């Protein structure tokens, strides 16, 4: 409720989610991804994929509308070992948003307002529920610290996400990951990327991913080829790119991960009614 109201109050237009797409998020190459395959169905002679994220749809939609958000269900068939992480579901929902003409600082500012307001909202509306859980309401205190992934790697080593998360008592931004083609490479610094994650403290780890976007056809086309992706699933998206995408930035807030963090739950399955945990059977 808070999330939907926040985006409406901040001038975003809510779109309904799409569950099938011709062009969907490839989720890679990303060292953090363990997705085994993107499920496809054939219908009316076309191959359609289950939505891994609506990033490519967001890029198309933001051009006309300016500020959009979607409570977006995603399917990501993760390897069974991910059960142990405590924070992976193979079906989850992200509050996915995109803003035309925005830079990463605009996204940070918006999301820091979101978290500040969330603590206030919970104190007002949910103190009894937190009392029943026997825990306090987490007080988000933005602005959150900002680090590059290189700084974090130098300080905490290979396992930096977990170690740095344990060493912090407030969320922090980790900036610059080499990942999917649609995240923008820094034009001033080749090999650096204008993308970011928000890492929750106390060992809870990543809760948000986002980026400034590539919007030029030539760059997108070159990077899809760089990643050795089959071009055919991206044909429709590339057509939109050729017709002209616009600069934008955005992110997706993992809703179950946020609920897990706020409720201090050990495993993310504790905050979902119909759990979809890699390596575990589906009940219903
Ligand atoms: N929602 C993310 C973004 O906006 C993409 C993702 O979920 N892979 O960058």
**Is residue 7 assigned to a domain?**
yes
**Is residue 154 assigned to a domain?**
no
**pLDDT tens-digit readout, 81-96:** 999 999 999 999 999 9
What is the three-state SS of 122-133? HHHHCHHHHHHH
pLDDT of 149: 98
Best probe residue, ligand 1, of 52, 252, 255, 258 (max atoms within 8 Å of C-beta)? 252
Q: With cut-offs at 50, 70 and 90, classify the pLDDT of residue 51.
A: very high
Q: Is 165's C-beta closer than 6 angstroms to any atom of ligand 1?
A: no
**pLDDT exceeds cutoff 80 at 100:** yes
pLDDT of 64: 87
**Is residue 35 assigned to a domain?**
yes
**pLDDT tens-digit readout, 213-232:** 999 999 999 999 999 999 99
**Is residue 114 assigned to a domain?**
yes
Structural domain including 106 reads: 2-143+226-271
CATH of the domain at 57: 3.30.930.10
What's the CA-to-centroid distance between 251 and ligand 1, angstroms? 6
pTM, full prediction: 0.97
Angle between helices 217-226 and 235-244 (to 10 degrees): 150
**Is residue 262 assigned to a domain?**
yes
pLDDT of 239: 97
Protein residue with its CA nearest to atom 6 in ligand 1: 53
Number of domains in the chain: 1
**Is residue 253 assigned to a domain?**
yes
Q: What does residue 58 show for φ and ψ, rounded to 5 degrees?
A: -60, -45
d(CA 212, CA 193): 9
């Amino acid at each position: 409720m808070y999330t939907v109201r926040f985006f409406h109050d901040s001038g975003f237009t809510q779109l309904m989610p799409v569950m099938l797409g011709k062009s969907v998020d490839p989720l890679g190459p990303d060292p953090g991804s363990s997705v085994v395959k993107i499920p496809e169905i054939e219908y009316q002679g076309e191959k359609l994929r289950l939505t891994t994220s609506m990033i490519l749809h967001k890029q198309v939609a933001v051009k006309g509308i300016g500020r959009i958000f979607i409570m977006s269900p995603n399917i990501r068939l993760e390897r069974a070992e991910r059960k142990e992480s405590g924070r992976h579901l193979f079906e989850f929902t992200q509050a996915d948003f995109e803003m035309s003409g925005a830079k990463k600082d605009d996204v940070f500012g918006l999301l820091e307002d979101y978290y500040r307001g969330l603590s206030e909202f919970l104190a007002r509306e949910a103190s009894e529920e937190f009392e029943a859980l026997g825990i306090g309401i987490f007080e988000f205190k933005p602005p959150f610290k900002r680090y590059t992934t290189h700084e974090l790697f130098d300080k905490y080593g290979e396992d930096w996400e977990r170690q740095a998360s344990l060493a912090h008592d407030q969320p922090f931004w980790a900036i610059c990951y080499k990942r999917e083609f649609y995240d923008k490479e820094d034009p001033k610094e080749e090999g650096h990327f204008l993308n970011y994650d928000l890492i929750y403290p106390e060992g809870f780890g990543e809760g948000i991913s986002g980026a400034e976007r590539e919007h030029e056809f030539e760059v997108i086309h070159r990077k899809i080829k760089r990643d050795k992706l089959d071009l055919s699933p991206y044909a429709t998206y590339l057509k939109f790119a050729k017709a002209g995408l616009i600069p934008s930035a955005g992110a997706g807030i993992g809703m179950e991960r946020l609920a897990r963090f706020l409720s201090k739950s050990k495993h993310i399955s504790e905050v979902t009614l119909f759990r979809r945990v890699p390596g575990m059977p589906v009940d219903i």
